[in-house]
Amino acid sequence: MLPFLKNHPFAVEAYFTKSIVITFAVPKEDIIHLIPECVTPDTYNNKWAFVAIAFVQTKGLRPKGFPAFSGNSFFLAGFRIFVRYTNSKGKTLRGLYILQSQTDKYLMQLLGNTFTHYNYTTADFKLTEKDDFISVTSCKAGIDVTVQTTAGHLPHSSPFTDWNVARKFAGPLPYTFSYNTKNKEVTIVKGVRDNWKPQPLQVSNCKVKFMENHVFRNAVLSNAFILKDIPYEWEKGVVELWKQ
């Protein structure tokens, strides 16, 4: 496979029916080894870094400009760290570094691993809704999550003082970064969205096998948000040489 294909070589558009993002605060020194040298953790009070889990019900995923009927619908799960990157023009960008991605369709795994560096695998996701509760489960991925749409207080463990501060770390952030360690090239993908109004969630249950890794032993639940009915676009990836 041609290496340049993994650098998000064309723009993509989709429609997010639902996007649930659950974010954990982690002492920044615990996760520094998980991110490449070109980025730094996006921190709160210079203490907390953030690991976010996003569950996204996606429809009409297709190259930009293609008709909607040609798109595909998938369930996507992403595990990412909030980071900052200073580009070649000296501008600091807030964004995400993807640790792992999961989907319920093999086609999405194939396409995702062909055109991105996001490490897709497949899992048996199921999303259910009852009254004010939304649940996401997967036996294969070890996920059993339930959130309530009538949110109350922030989690007791949250480092944030209120929802307004927490919303700054709601994700997904505008940019996603990938790094080729061999040639020190950074791929920057910008996300463009409309109707961006994250609403707070109450987390009733959150069992995620990924977060049981010893690396996240000091992680605490910090916030959770939901977005609905979001037209979304990923621009063509921009590749630049990282200069230390």
pTM: 0.94
Q: Which two tokens stand for residue 191?
A: 């996300």
- Domain architecture of the chain: domains with CATH: 11-241 (2.40.400.10)
When pLDDT is averaged across residues 23-40 and rounded to a whole number, the result is 98
User: Of all helices (H) and strands (E), which one includes residue 18?
Assistant: strand 12-27
Band (pLDDT 50/70/90 cuts) for residue 172 is low
Report which of 96, 137, 131, 133 is spatially closest to residue 116, judged by C-alpha positions. 96
CB 80 within 8 A of CB 51: yes
Band (pLDDT 50/70/90 cuts) for residue 244 is confident
Long-range contacts, stretch 99-102, CB < 8 angstroms, 24+ apart = 99/34, 99/51, 100/210, 101/76, 101/77, 102/76, 102/77, 102/78, 102/138, 102/141
Q: Which two tokens stand for residue 89?
A: 């023009």
Band (pLDDT 50/70/90 cuts) for residue 194 is confident
Reading phi first (left if > 0) and then psi (alpha if -120 to 50, else beta), residue 59 is in beta
* Pairwise CA distance, residues 53 & 189, whole Å: 19
pLDDT tens digits, 122-148: 999 999 999 999 999 999 999 999 999
